[in-house]
Amino acid sequence: MARVLTGIQSTGTPHLGNVLGAIRPAIDLAKNPENESFLFIADLHSLTQIKDGAQLRKNTHAVASAWLACGLDADRTVFYRQSDVPEVTELAWYLSCYFPYQRMTLAHSFKEKSDRLKDVNAGLFSYPMLMAADILLYDAHFVPVGKDQLQHLEMTRSVAQRINHQFDPTHARELLVVPEPLTRENVMLVPGTDGEKMSKSKANTLDIFADPKALKKAINKQIVTDATPLEDPKDPDSSVVYELYALLSSEAEAAEMAAKLRAGGYGWGHAKKALLEAIVDGFHIERERFAHYMAHLEEVEAVLQKGAEQARETAGQTLARVRAEMGY
Ligand code: TRP
């Protein structure tokens, strides 16, 4: 049985791009009975950027509610909050002492973030070692990640190999499991309201859990359409409205909208209204469940607490093994 583990950033309510591109595929992967799956909310990593405790908690609750709303089965996935298993910070320290400073300075994501963010703290720099600890603490075999995380996975493998080598140069016995990244080939590309990839840092996101009024406003204001008169034919293929609609509806529905746009007499306003409906109706189960969880955070907490208990069992065993080898 392979153990599949992944961490989720908790920088805010997941948007449409997260739901289609990450949450749904991860939930599908977790359904495979051949895998044992661990999924956690990386709220200790969030501290590198968010210093408001109430905000941290709120983000965690929104992320957890969104995953549960999208169908994550917490009976089959160990679903927990990173900070509920503080063992990870101890392992991160050991790993840091086995990883060359020079190699840390080559991390792309640190360079990218330190160019962009105002608060460039030491935690941001050591982020990859905490991520390595997230993975190695649980003896994970496979780690589904986006391409932007591959270097972090490489660092994780490298630090695990260094430690394994130190404790048994013959490699007859491995102290830590060296994980493999899992990248999906056909990741669904979800355009944002500006046509670029949908991403929180670009302010081009749509929140499928927002109330319909707010969602309508986002669609109308954020998606810029040209001033082609209502009667004139329009090109669906150069339109984000159509692209998003097509991602959310059946082939027949998408073909119908494309035909109406090409025929003329059908405006961008009509298309935007159809997009709004596709989101509100298409995600109505998720929206209802999300609202339920957000109004019953004690249920969300209970799920996370159960996950933390399960996670701590494995974490304690790995850490005991590592401590003993290190001489503590
Ligand atoms: N760094 C990951 C991201 O930005 C989130 C993450 C933290 C993670 N710890 C992890 C992913 C461990 C996989 C495994 O998306």
pLDDT at 179: 98
pLDDT band at 12 (very low <50, low <70, confident <90, very high): confident
pLDDT band at 280 (very low <50, low <70, confident <90, very high): very high
Distance from the CA of 109 to the center of ligand 1, in angstroms?
12
Please write the tens of the pLDDT for every residue from 157-209: 999 999 999 999 999 999 999 999 998 877 788 999 999 999 988 999 999 99
- The answer on 122 and 261 residing in a single domain is no
Please write the tens of the pLDDT for every residue from 229-269: 999 999 999 999 999 999 999 999 999 999 999 999 999 99
pLDDT at 166: 95
Number of domains composing the chain: 2
- The answer on 269 and 226 residing in a single domain is yes
Distance from the CA of 91 to the center of ligand 1, in angstroms?
16
Asked if residue 203 belongs to a domain, the reply is: no
pLDDT at 186: 76
pLDDT band at 78 (very low <50, low <70, confident <90, very high): very high
Helices (H), 51-107: 53-69, 87-96, 101-104
Phi, psi of 81 (to 5 degrees): -100, 130
pLDDT band at 120 (very low <50, low <70, confident <90, very high): very high
pLDDT at 136: 98
State the DSSP code for 50.
-
Distance from the CA of 326 to the center of ligand 1, in angstroms?
26
Given a cut of 90, is residue 130 above it in pLDDT?
yes
Percent of the chain scoring above 90 in pLDDT: 93
Atom from ligand 1 closest to the CA of residue 9: 5
Ligand 1, pocket-test mutation among 50, 116, 131, 153, most atoms within 8 A of CB: 131
- Residue 65 sits in a domain of what CATH number? 3.40.50.620
Q: Report the range of poorest mean pLDDT among 7-11, 81-85, 191-195, 233-237.
A: 7-11
Asked if residue 51 belongs to a domain, the reply is: yes
Domain range spanning residue 228? 210-282
Distance from the CA of 6 to the center of ligand 1, in angstroms?
6
Asked if residue 263 belongs to a domain, the reply is: yes
Asked if residue 157 belongs to a domain, the reply is: yes
- The answer on 225 and 182 residing in a single domain is no
Contact in structure between 44 and 213 (CB atoms under 8 Å): no
Q: Which residues' Cβ are closer than 6 Å to ligand 1?
A: 6-7, 9, 42, 45, 131, 134-135, 143, 145, 149
Q: What is the mean pLDDT of residues 37-45?
A: 98
- Residue 230 sits in a domain of what CATH number? 1.10.240.10
- The answer on 278 and 319 residing in a single domain is no
- Measured by CA distance, the residue closest to atom 6 of ligand 1 is 7
pLDDT at 1: 87
- The answer on 159 and 51 residing in a single domain is yes
Distance from the CA of 132 to the center of ligand 1, in angstroms?
9
Q: What is the mean pLDDT of residues 44-64?
A: 97
Cα Rg for the chain, rounded, in angstroms? 22
Mean pLDDT across the chain, nearest whole number? 96
Atom from ligand 1 closest to the CA of residue 45: 7
Give CA–CA dist 260/49, Å, rounded.
Answer: 46
Q: What is the mean pLDDT of residues 34-57?
A: 97
pTM here? Answer: 0.94
Asked if residue 195 belongs to a domain, the reply is: no
Give CA–CA dist 191/240, Å, rounded.
Answer: 7
Please write the tens of the pLDDT for every residue from 143-168: 999 889 999 999 999 999 999 999 99
- The answer on 115 and 42 residing in a single domain is yes
